[in-house]
Chain A
Amino acid sequence: MITDLFSTTVLIGILASGIRLATPYLYAAIGETFSQKSGVLNLGVEGQMLLGCFAAFYVAYSTGNLWLGLFVAMIVGALMGLAMAFVTVNLHAQQGISGIGFYLFGLGMSELLFQRLMGTVETVQGFPKLQFPVLSDIPGIGEIFFKQNILVYGAYLLVPLAWFVLNKTTLGLKIRAVGENPDAADSLGVSVARIRYFTITLGGMLSAIAGASLSIALLNVFQQNMTSGLGFIAVALVYFGAWKPVGVLGGALLFSMVNSLQLWIQVLGIPIPSDIAVMMPYVLTILVLVATVSRVRAPSALTKPFERED
C-alpha cells in the first residue's frame, strides 16, 4: 500500500492541494515577515485573519462583489494593523501580550458579527479556478499549477515582490535598519515609528487577505474560528523561513505538502493511526527547526519597543 503513494494521481493530488493549502500561510507569513523585520512581533495575525475572513465573506455575500469583499477585508486588516501599531509603537506595550489581545479581539468580534449579521452558515460563489488556454490542459502540470484561483497566484507573486522590497529598495533598507538597530536608524533620520506603522499595517492587510483567501476563494464559506490556528502557524513559519520570503515559501510548502500527504496516507489505508498522521506536519516542522535554528539570527530589535534617547 505504501507504493500507492507514488502513483501519479497521488503525487498530483499532493502537489495541487499543497499549493492551495499554502496560500493563506503565505499571505499571513509574508506580512508577518515585514513586521518582524522592523522589530515588531505581531501575534494578532490569527485575529486579523478571522476578521478579514468574515469581512470579505460578508461583503461578497451581501453584494455579490468579490473584489469589493477583498477590498473591505484589506481595510479591516489595515485598521487592525493600525491599532496594533498604536499600542506597540506609541504605548510601548509588550508585543506578545498585546498580540494575543488582538487575536482574542478578532476571534470574538468575528463571531459576534457572524451571529448578528448572518446567523447561520451560508456559502458564496468565490473566485473561480482560472483556466489558461493550453496550459491548463497539460496533464498533471495543468492540474497542479494552472487550475488555481487568482488569490493563489497572488500569494506566490508576493514572495519575489517581498524579497525585492526588503532587499533592493530604500524602504527595505530602512525596515531592516529599524529592526536591527533602531537607535542608529533614528540618528540617521529614519523615523522608526513611521516604518513600524507601515510594516504592521501592511502585515494586518496581508493577514486579512489570507483570511479572505479562505472565505471567498478556497472554501467559500464562513464559520466561527474557521482559521483554527492557521495564523499561529504563519508566525512560526516566519522563524522557520529565517525572516526571508523564500524561506517562508519553503516552510509553507513543506507544511502544506506534508499535511496533504497525511490526508492521502489515511485515504490509501496505510496503517498509521489517524492521530499520528495528523501530527506529522507539526512534528516535521519542529524537527526542521531544531536542525536549522542555530544558523539563523532574528532581527536584533525584535520585540523591543523603541524609545528615543534624548
Chain B
Amino acid sequence: MKKFAWILTLVLAFALVLNACGTPAATEEAAPAATEEPAAAATEAPAATEEPAAPAEPFRVAVVMPSAINDLAFSQSMYDALMRIQAEMGGPEAFEVVYSENMFVVDDAAAALRDYASQGYDLVIGHGSQYGTSLQEIAPDFPETSFAWGTTAETFGQPNIFAYEAASQEGGYVNGVLAATLSQSGTIGVVGPIEVGDAKLYVDGFKAGVMATNPNAVVNVNYIGSFSDVALASEAASTHLSAGADVMTGSAQMVVGAIGKAEEAGALWFGTQSNQSSLAPTVVVASQVYHWEVALSEMIALIKEGTLGGQSFRANLANGGEVIEFNADYALSDDAKALADSTIKGIIDGSITITLP
C-alpha cells in the first residue's frame, strides 16, 4: 500500500500544481519552439532577414508570453499590439515579430529570452511579471540589446531594460461605473484568478467604480486560484448568478468559462485585457483593452535614437494605452454611454481619483 500512497501523493501534488499554475507543462513543447520560432518567423518574413540588398534593416522584436497569443486576454493584448505596429510600419519587411507562447515555466522562458537576445533582436520582451529576475540576470550580458518587461515599473536600474505596466484600475473603474448603472438587482459578480498584480488592480478599480455610483450595491468577488481552470471559472459565475448577480466581470484567460454562463443566463459581462465581445455578443457591454503599442512605439523610437532602456511606461486612459471598447452589438443606452464617456474624461483630466484599498 505504501507504494500507492506515494504515487497518489505525487498525483495529487501534480494536480494541485497544474491547477494553480495554468499551463506549465505546455513548455514541454513550447521549449523547443523557443528555438524554432525564429525559424518559423523567418518564413513569415523571408525578405526581411535574408536579403542584404534590402533598403533598410527591419526592426526585429521577440516576445515571450506566459499563455497563448489567442487567449483573448493578457498574451493576446501584447500580440495584437505588435501586429498593429507591424501593420503601421509596413508589414514584416519593416517590423519583424517572433514569439514564444505558453512559457509559464520561468526557466524555459529565461532560456528563450537568452536565445532571442543572442540572435540579435533589437527588442526582447518578457511579457509577464514573473520574468523579471530572469531579465535582471540576462540583460547585463547583452548590453547592445534592449529588453522590456511587464507588467511592472521596475527597470532594476539597468540601462537596457524598459518597464511597462497598465493602470488597470482605470478601465476597471469605468467598467464598474457602468456595471452599477446597468445592474437591476444591485448585485455584481467578479471572477478573478489569483489576488495579485494586474488582476487585483482591475478588480479593486472595478469595485471602486461600482461603489462610487451605487454605494448600496453588493460586489461579490471570487478568486478561483487558477489562470486556466475554465470549469471552476464557470462554476464561480454560476455561484454569482445564484447569489443574485445580473452583471459580471472577470480577469485572465480562464474567464471564457464564466462568459458562457453569463450569456446563458442573460447577465451582462464586462471584459478586460482584450476585447471579449466576440465570445458573447449579446451580453458583453464593454471591454478594457490594453493597447501596448502606445508604450512600445515610444520604446522603439528611443531604441532607434540609441536609448536602450532605463525608463518605465504606464498604459492608461489618458495616453491611449488603455481603451474602453464598447460592443457594437450591445444596445447601450445613450445615458449610460454618456456616463461612461464622462467617467473616462474625468479620469483623464484628474477630476475623478480612484482610491484603492
Contact = CB atoms under 8 A, between A and B. Distances in A.
Given A108-B29, A259-B232, A282-B16, A264 B239 contact: yes
B26 A266 contact: no
A289 B15 contact: no
B72 A298 contact: no
B218 to A, nearest CB: 9
B91 interface: no
Contact of A13 (B11, B17, B239, B254): B239
B222 A267 contact: yes
Interface stretch (B2-10, B124-132, B310-318, B346-354): B2-10
A271 interface: no
Interface centre among B15, B25, B228, B234 (most CB of A within 10 A): B15
B298 interface: no
B234 A218 contact: yes
Given A230-B231, A297-B1, A219 B238 contact: no
Interface string B226-243: 101111101110111011
B18 interface: yes
Given A225-B26, A236-B8, A239-B11, 10 more contacts: A218-B234, A220-B260, A221-B279, A223-B256, A225-B228, A226-B228, A267-B222, A267-B239, A274-B222, A278-B225
Given A236-B8, A278-B225, A107 B235 contact: no
A277 B194 CA distance: 12
A108 B28 contact: yes
Interface centre among B18, B28, B189 (most CB of A within 10 A): B18
A221 B253 CA distance: 12
Interface residues of B, number: 58
Contacts of A310: none
B223 interface: yes
A232 interface: yes
B222 A266 contact: yes
Contacts of A296: 1
Interface of B: 1, 4-5, 7-8, 11-12, 14-20, 22-23, 25-26, 28-29, 67-68, 70-72, 102, 189, 194-195, 220-226, 228-232, 234-236, 238-240, 242-243, 253-254, 256-257, 260, 263, 278-280
B256 A221 contact: yes
Contacts of A285: 12
A154 interface: no
A297 B22 CA distance: 33
A20 to B, nearest CB: 7
Contacts of B257: 219, 221, 226
A263 B239 contact: yes
25 contacts: A13-B239, A13-B243, A17-B238, A17-B239, A20-B238, A46-B18, A121-B256, A218-B234, A221-B256, A221-B279, A225-B26, A225-B228, A226-B230, A226-B257, A228-B226, A232-B14, A236-B11, A236-B15, A239-B8, A267-B239, A269-B220, A275-B223, A277-B225, A298-B4, A303-B7
A13 B16 contact: no
A275 B8 contact: no
A96 interface: yes
Contacts of B234: 218-219
Given A108-B28, A282-B16, A235 B231 contact: no
